[in-house]
Amino acid sequence: MKLKSPRGLQVAVVGVGGAGNSLLSHAMSEGVNPKNCVAVNTDRNQLSESQAQNKVLLTDSVRFPAHRVAPFTQESDFTILLTGLGGATGTSAAPLIAQLNRNQVRPVVSVVALPFIHERERRFMALRGLKKMVEACDCTVIIDNAADLRHSPGSERAADETAGFAVKGLSEVVAMGKPHVSQRMLGILGLGQVATVCTAFVDSNEKIQSSVIDALRMPSANLPVTKAKGAVLLFRGVKPLSAGQAAHAYEAIASLVGHDIEFIHVSARSAEISSLSVFLTGYSYGTALGAFVDLIEGLYDMEYGIEAGSSEIGLPVRLYQMEGI
Ligand SMILES: Nc1nc2c(ncn2[C@@H]2O[C@H](COP(=O)(O)OP(=O)(O)OP(=O)(O)O)[C@@H](O)[C@H]2O)c(=O)[nH]1
Ligand SMILES: [Mg+2]
């Protein structure tokens, strides 16, 4: 994926459907400018609640959603697409919007929420939608609601904050106007179809390694860390990371991954408490699908009180049978 111009780049952030609108709100509350945001929905009420400056109400048939959105995104150099998969609106419209926006000079990175484990039918629908999304985007960052629930049963939406934060970080880097940095970041995101993201607060820049380890303990999707090919570290704090601190952060990531990976770190100034996001990139759709099968089986086992390691209860339909769809 290549960006077309070296000047400060324009970013459009598009949220599609209920989850997409909600992720968009999180991004705006993290500081993404509502002027750059487009809320798209078939649900008039959800749309009216959005703070986004641009809104597209899709009616009855979602036939040409992309053309309705295009006027709001065509001036931008980079599109971030937010949606939840498994429902009707986001699953059908988001891949079409991605396709129209994406070409050689206008990369599209999507952040998608996958349904909770109890939304079984929807999870199947979502994995089909995911296939379309990964085909239509340069990189798809997965926020798996099932993984989120496992981490923090009390706070179902912790991952949405992570996503909002990550979106703010990505758009900030691209808008910074340092083309070699944006290119490198997009290059690392594009190492594979799928990525995961995680965040943590940073007590002090000296303790960057323990923050990285904290973050990697709670990735937004249950993908095997060892299969990551790249990492993008976005740091926000009063003082930027020094080269030495960035090297320490890299060491922590590489030791958890178990091998050397592509890496970039970018610091942005913020008066607030310091924090970091790490994107682990380079996963294929197949790896993601495999990980979700394991996760679902694990959770079913928990649900039925079966000891770990038993494989007696699996899914009635194996997810990998869906791959050819
Ligand atoms: N993380 C997160 N996931 C959500 C949120 N809202 C819904 N989801 C998930 O996203 C999936 C899709 O739901 P929606 O976004 O409401 O569906 P939609 O695209 O609006 O589609 P329809 O309402 O069916 O037309 C659901 O199965 C939920 O698991 C949210 O606010 N945050
Ligand atoms: Mg909806």
* Atom in ligand 1 nearest the alpha carbon of residue 123: 27
Find how far residue 21's CA is from the centre of its chain.
14
Look up the pTM and report it: 0.89
User: What is the three-class DSSP state of 228?
Assistant: coil
Residue 307's Cβ-count burial label (10 Å; 0-12, 13-18, 19+) is: exposed
Residues with Cβ within 8 Å of 282's Cβ and at least 6 positions away in sequence, in order, are: 191, 192, 195, 227, 228, 229, 230, 261, 262
On whether the 11-189 domain is CATH 2.60.40.10, my answer is no
Residue by residue, pLDDT tens for the chain (325 residues) are 655 555 568 999 999 999 999 999 999 999 999 999 999 999 999 999 999 999 999 986 656 778 889 999 988 989 999 999 999 999 999 999 999 888 656 899 999 999 987 888 898 899 889 999 999 999 999 999 888 555 555 455 778 888 998 999 999 999 888 889 999 999 999 999 999 999 999 988 888 999 999 999 989 998 999 999 999 999 999 999 999 999 999 999 999 999 999 999 999 988 888 999 999 999 999 999 888 776 666 666 666 665 544 443 334 444 444 433 3
Structure confidence at residue 299 (pLDDT): 61
Q: Which amino acid is at 6?
A: P
Rounded to a whole number of angstroms, the CA Rg of the chain reads 19
- Check pocket membership of 90 for ligand 1, CB cut-off 6 A: yes
| Cβ–Cβ under 8 Å, residues 281 and 188 | yes
Smallest-distance ligand from the CA of 93: 1
For helices 120-136 and 285-303, the axis angle rounded to 10 degrees is 170
Q: How far apart are the first and last CA of the chain?
A: 27
CA nearest ligand 1 atom 17, residue: 87
Q: How far is CA 101 from CA 111, 244, 269, in A?
A: 15, 39, 30
Distance from the alpha carbon of residue 316 to the mean position of ligand 2, in angstroms: 28
- Check pocket membership of 216 for ligand 1, CB cut-off 6 A: no
- Check pocket membership of 17 for ligand 1, CB cut-off 6 A: yes
Which residue, among 30, 24, 104, has the nearest Cα to 56 in the 3D structure?
24
| Cβ–Cβ under 8 Å, residues 86 and 115 | yes
Smallest-distance ligand from the CA of 87: 1
Q: How far is CA 191 from CA 179, 227, 231, 235, 247, in A?
A: 18, 12, 10, 21, 21
- Check pocket membership of 87 for ligand 1, CB cut-off 6 A: yes
Same fold, 11-189 and 194-283: no
* Atom in ligand 1 nearest the alpha carbon of residue 90: 19
Task: Delimit the domains of the chain by residue range.
Answer: 11-189, 194-283, 285-322
Distance from the alpha carbon of residue 27 to the mean position of ligand 2, in angstroms: 19
The CATH class that applies to domain 194-283 reads alpha beta
Q: How far is CA 77 from CA 80, 161, 277, in A?
A: 10, 25, 23
Measured distance CA(174)–CA(182) in Å, rounded: 5
Smallest-distance ligand from the CA of 92: 1
- Check pocket membership of 115 for ligand 1, CB cut-off 6 A: yes
Structure confidence at residue 66 (pLDDT): 83
CA nearest ligand 1 atom 27, residue: 115
